[in-house]
Structure 1
Amino acid sequence: MLSVYIDLAIGLVLAFLLLSLLVSGLNEAIVRLLGIRSKFLWAYLRDTLDGGPRKGVSWIPSKIIDVFAKLPFSRHDPRPRHDPDPAPPVVEPMPVDPGAVLAAKASAPPVDMTKRLYERLQEIDHPKGTRTSIADIPPERFSSALLELVAAEEDGVEGLIAKLEAIHSPLAGHLRGVWEGAQRDMGKFRKGVEDWFDGEMQRLSKLYRRYVKWVVFALALTLTLLFSMDSLEYGKTLLRDNAYRAAVAAIAGGGGDGTAELKDSLKDKCAVAGSVEPYSCVTEVFSSPALVKIFDHAMMSVTIPADDAGSPSFTFNATTWWNRLITIGHWPGYLVTVFALLFGASFWWDILRRLTGIRTSRS
């Protein structure tokens, strides 16, 4: 009896794993197609290096609809233009005279610090459209790029910070804090920049995941309703299927007289009027387990013929699917499915690995 419930757990976990993989695949496809991860990173860099496009306005959107509706399709792409050439061997100093700017009390000159940073990162870029596709910058690479900008200045770190302050770059305050904390030691300064940038990337990742979880929820809900995946109903189907197979195995092995229970199960499954044809029904049921029929109630189902000569057939089940969708009794199962998919494919793979004893090799 225990094996029946273990089979039930494995069947449900495998169903959740398949749907979670589909949700993750769709989410990743949307993110890559629209370049959202790369745009999100460079929006942060625009805010940090150059400030907002207007005073008090951030490049990073503040609402979920802005991230997935405005940011991907906005004409003001925060990413620099892709350059297939390697980084220039000579770094030009920043064309700003901080003394003249501060004395004249003029507005900050149009210096594109984001572009200057990208010039030092071109080697890790790869062609994908007209804009850069860099979506991740290692802290060590960021600190190296920053030190290259520092080396171009006559006064080193102090000169770069002074020019950043003159153009009102938000990066100036961060660098001054790191420089003072490193006690003006270049080695400690580089390590401090790496730690600071690593902390900023962790904070940015948490913010990004906060936005993405709403997209995952929307995809999970859409797929659950599209496939009409009622977890509670599917669990009952698995239990009946496993109990039926256990009865057949018991009779075949001579482990007891389960003919009455088997006939009742055959009648429920085959629905043959008059008498039950055991051999043909057993063959049919064993060739179509409950796990194979997980998507039978979807809007469009696929039937694969038993013989190799036939081709798969597609059936449009709009009427049946809609009747299940508007039936209140199925909604608790839908909600269980959506809630389960929010845990992600990695969670359900770990549960499946624990239940089946699958070992994964680790380097």
Structure 2
Amino acid sequence: MFGSVMLEVAIGLAFIYILLSLLCSSLNEVIAVFFNLRSKNLLTALNQLLTNEAKPAENSAAATLISKVTSHPFISALKQPPVRFFGKQRDEKVPNYIPPHAFAVTLLDTIGARGGDGKMKTVSSIRSLINKEENEHLKRSLLPLLDNAGDDLEKIQSNIEAWFDTSMDRASGWYRRQSQMIILLVATVVVTSMNIDTIHIAHALWHDYGVRTVLVAQAEQLAKSDKDVLTKDQDYKKVVEKIEGLSLPLGWDSESVIKFRQNREDAKGDRESRLWAALVKITGLLITILVISISAPFWFDLLNKLVDLLSVVKRPSSVAGSPGSEGNAQKPPLAE
């Protein structure tokens, strides 16, 4: 019994963490769209790839090169329509994603390696065009790719695609780290504003059988779902509604404030007790901030393992009266 209660509390916490992680991810997505973070990250990656500068100086040869690449029809066609936020139109300079093939064709067009009919020029002509480039970084980058291709024109393009792919892998790493920092900040705001204290919630789940049972039932239902449900449920408003419907001790309402003050008054004469109460509160909030910064899929996998373990723990107690025969639990007599 003691073990099953501990598991139920752990399942309840994992379920809460999933919802909160989804909330943070949803808010992170809103922030990314509002500030065009993906587009800006890709533009920085292009600058580094083609000019070895995070932001080339205006009217420089490097800036002109970037402008030609980003304004190419193959690239501009990938941009999303302008979005209006608070009455202002926000437009992205580059799309959120560029396929390697589109980039390779765009770059070859930019340096003049393709004729008006779309066919590649000769290797010697392409080498001559690259040597004439004002951008030394681009020249040093493209010549080895050309040497590696030999006389194979198709391999020149495939080498450029591979070169671009490698750069985009690094850019993805930059974006992931940036997103993780944003999610951590979002988690801090969400947890402190909603008073989501892991220690307090665990205590409530341990002592409140009703809330614990409801949470475990919802968690078991979620565990039966496919993992893709986590990516489909990205509307932060719906996630907030689910969290508010859990009947958990969340928020800085009057009852929470009164209880906190009462605890301080009870420990008024004991400075160590006051410090301990504050430390426990801060620790509970910090635990929540850190754990919900982890992606929801991690907690989903852990939830499935805990649910499976709970079913194993409860199985012996559900079998009675007939040893050796699973599922034939003795039914209690009907009340007359």
TM-score strictly above 0.5: yes
Partner residue of 1:139? 100
Amino acid at match of 1:332: T
Amino acid at match of 1:331: I
Alignment partners' CA distance in 2, 1:5 and 1:136: 46
Partner residue of 2:153? 186
1:338 to 278, 283, 289: 289
Q: Deviations over 1:181-202 (max 9, x none)?
A: 2224222222211211111111
1:162 to partner: Cα distance = 1.9
Partner residue of 2:55? 59
Note the 1:167-316 alignment, pairs <5 A: 167-242=134-209, 292-294=246-248, 296-299=249-252
Alignment partners' CA distance in 2, 1:114 and 1:240: 62
Alignment partners' CA distance in 2, 1:218 and 1:321: 28
Amino acid at match of 1:136: Y
Alignment partners' CA distance in 2, 1:244 and 1:109: 65
1:291 to partner: Cα distance = 7.9
Q: Does structure 1 conserve the Cα–Cα contact (< 8 Å) formed by 2:75 and 2:94?
A: no
Alpha-carbon spacing, 1:232–1:49, altered in 2? closer, same or farther (3 Å): same
Note the 1:124-163 alignment, pairs <5 A: 124-128=78-82, 129-132=90-93, 134-149=95-110, 150-152=113-115, 156-163=125-132
Residue 69 of structure 2 corresponds to residue 117 of structure 1:
yes
Alignment partners' CA distance in 2, 1:335 and 1:49: 42
Consecutive unaligned residues of structure 2, counting only runs of 5 or more, are 83-89, 214-243, 265-276, 309-336
SS of equivalent to 1:21: helix
1:29 to partner: Cα distance = 0.8
Alpha-carbon spacing, 1:37–1:173, altered in 2? closer, same or farther (3 Å): same
SS of equivalent to 2:77: helix
Alignment partners' CA distance in 1, 2:211 and 2:61: 78
Choose 5-14 or 144-153, whichever is displaced more.
144-153
Alignment partners' CA distance in 1, 2:62 and 2:207: 71
Q: Percent identity?
A: 25
Alignment partners' CA distance in 2, 1:151 and 1:321: 74
Q: Does structure 1 conserve the Cα–Cα contact (< 8 Å) formed by 2:108 and 2:114?
A: yes
Q: Does structure 1 conserve the Cα–Cα contact (< 8 Å) formed by 2:50 and 2:137?
A: yes
Alignment partners' CA distance in 1, 2:176 and 2:47: 20
1:243 to partner: Cα distance = 8.6
Partner residue of 1:42? 43
Higher relative contact order (CA 8 A, sep 6+): 2
Alignment partners' CA distance in 1, 2:50 and 2:295: 35
Alpha-carbon spacing, 1:110–1:174, altered in 2? closer, same or farther (3 Å): closer
Instruction: Give the helix-richer structure, 1 or 2.
Output: 2
Alpha-carbon spacing, 1:122–1:244, altered in 2? closer, same or farther (3 Å): closer
Amino acid at match of 2:41: F
Alpha-carbon spacing, 1:160–1:111, altered in 2? closer, same or farther (3 Å): farther
Alignment partners' CA distance in 2, 1:143 and 1:341: 40
Runs of 4+ in 1 over 6 A off after TM superposition: 243-246
Q: Deviations over 1:183-227 (max 9, x none)?
A: 242222222112111111111111222233222222112211111
Q: Does structure 1 conserve the Cα–Cα contact (< 8 Å) formed by 2:15 and 2:303?
A: yes
1:18 to partner: Cα distance = 1.1
Partner residue of 1:24? 25
SS of equivalent to 2:208: helix
Alpha-carbon spacing, 1:202–1:354, altered in 2? closer, same or farther (3 Å): same
Q: Does structure 1 conserve the Cα–Cα contact (< 8 Å) formed by 2:8 and 2:212?
A: no
TM-score when scaled to structure 2? 0.63
Q: Does structure 1 conserve the Cα–Cα contact (< 8 Å) formed by 2:183 and 2:293?
A: yes
Partner residue of 2:280? 329
1:231 to partner: Cα distance = 0.8
Alignment partners' CA distance in 1, 2:202 and 2:28: 27
Alignment partners' CA distance in 2, 1:18 and 1:221: 15
1:332 to partner: Cα distance = 1.6
Consecutive unaligned residues of structure 1, counting only runs of 5 or more, are 53-57, 61-75, 79-106, 247-289, 301-315, 358-363
**Alignment length (residue pairs):** 248
Amino acid at match of 1:6: L
Choose 24-33 or 125-134, whichever is displaced more.
125-134
TM-score when scaled to structure 1? 0.59
SS of equivalent to 1:144: helix
Q: What RMSD over aligned residues (CA atoms) do the two structures have, in Å?
A: 3.5
